[in-house]
């Protein structure tokens, strides 16, 4: 086995160089963190589950014309991706009020938003990934005004596709976080992962506000049965097509 150089180790993934400078290898770990790593733990099998779900979703989105960094999935925990320069923004799309939106605005959990809300957070652990205004984002030159427009448009298109996809799985897509990168031609492409770590997913067959949770909120809020919820998402996702 070739031992590749480790480029970066994050909270949930490790990034390796490969023989090809345009290709990187991402290894999905079982480690889980929440609240800017104040809570740490492990979700058994999460790495492989998130790798499989992300790979499938990236392929589905690519088939619908969304440019993504996904190349292939050489093994259970590994994804080969195109090398990009990550834009230091977390682009969050919300369809239903939950999490920090409820905490910071007083909106009631489960309020269906009249239209999807797109928010930009500064990807900066030292600062605790703060919510940005558009003007602060531009002030810090984290993206150009044209890129902000494009990110907003792409995020809303992806939301439409993913919402439809999860609907077909009997799952409501409450909200999710995306990351984008710039390729060598300065084109924005979808990067990182799309998984129960980065989405809120509610089982439509369950009405109870705790039982319906199929995502990392089970870990964040100590709701139990974390592994089985992730497994259940994977089983449904892998069977479905957009
Ligand atoms: P929030 O309600 O905590 O702001 O989270 C919004 C969405 O973003 C939710 O689906 C979880 C996801 N998310 C991440 O993927 N990474 C993070 O660090 C945070 C805080 C949220």
Q: What residue's CA is closest to ligand 1, atom 18?
A: 36
- Per-residue pLDDT, 2: 65
Domains 3-82 and 85-225 in one fold? no
Question: Regarding the domain delimited by 85-225, which CATH topology (the fold level of the hierarchy) does it fall under?
Answer: D-amino Acid Aminotransferase; Chain A, domain 1 (3.30.470)
For residue 22, report the distance from its CA to the centre of ligand 1, in Å: 29
- Counting from 1 in the atom list of ligand 1, the atom nearest the Cα of 215 is 10
What span, in angstroms and rounded, lies between the C-alpha atoms of 211 and 218? 9
Q: Is the minimum distance from the CB of 157 to ligand 1 under 6 angstroms?
A: no
Pocket test for ligand 1, best of 90, 177, 191, 218 (most atoms within 8 A of CB): 177
pLDDT for the residue numbered 46: 98
pLDDT digits (tens, 9 = 90+) for 106-117: 999 999 999 999
Task: Classify residue 220 by burial, with Cβ atoms within 10 Å: 0-12, 13-18, 19+.
Answer: middle
CATH number of 3-82: 3.30.200.20
User: Residue 199 pairs with which residues in a beta bridge?
Assistant: 176
pLDDT higher than 90, residue 3: no
Q: What is the pLDDT of residues 131-185, one digit of tens each?
A: 999 999 999 999 999 999 999 999 999 999 999 999 999 999 999 999 999 999 9
> Per-domain residue ranges for the chain?
3-82, 85-225
Is residue 18 within 8 Å of 3, Cβ to Cβ? no
Whole-structure pTM value: 0.97
Nearest atom in ligand 1 to the alpha carbon of residue 175 is 10
């Amino acid at each position: 086995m070739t031992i590749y150089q480790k480029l970066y180790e994050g909270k949930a993934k490790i990034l390796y160089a490969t023989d090809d400078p345009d290709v990187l290898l991402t290894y999905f770990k079982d480690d889980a963190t929440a609240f800017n790593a104040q809570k740490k733990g492990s979700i058994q099998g999460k790495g492989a589950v998130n790798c499989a779900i992300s790979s499938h979703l990236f392929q589905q989105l690519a088939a619908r014309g969304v440019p993504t960094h996904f190349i292939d999935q050489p093994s259970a925990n590994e994804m080969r991706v195109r090398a990009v320069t990550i834009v230091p923004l977390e682009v969050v799309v919300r369809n239903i009020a939950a999490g920090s939106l409820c905490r910071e605005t007083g909106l009631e959990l489960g309020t269906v938003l009249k239209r999807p809300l797109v928010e930009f957070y500064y990807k900066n652990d030292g600062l605790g990934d703060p919510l940005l205004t558009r003007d602060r984002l531009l002030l810090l030159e984290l993206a150009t005004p044209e890129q902000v427009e494009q990110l907003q448009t792409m995020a809303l298109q992806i939301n439409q596709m993913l919402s439809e996809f999860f609907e077909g799985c009997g799952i409501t897509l409450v909200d999710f976080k995306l990351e984008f990168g710039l390729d060598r031609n300065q084109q924005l492409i979808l990067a990182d992962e799309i998984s129960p770590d980065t989405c809120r997913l509610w089982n439509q067959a369950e009405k109870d506000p705790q039982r319906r949770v199929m995502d990392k909120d089970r870990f964040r809020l100590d709701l139990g049965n974390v592994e089985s919820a992730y497994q259940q998402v994977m089983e449904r996702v892998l069977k479905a097509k957009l």
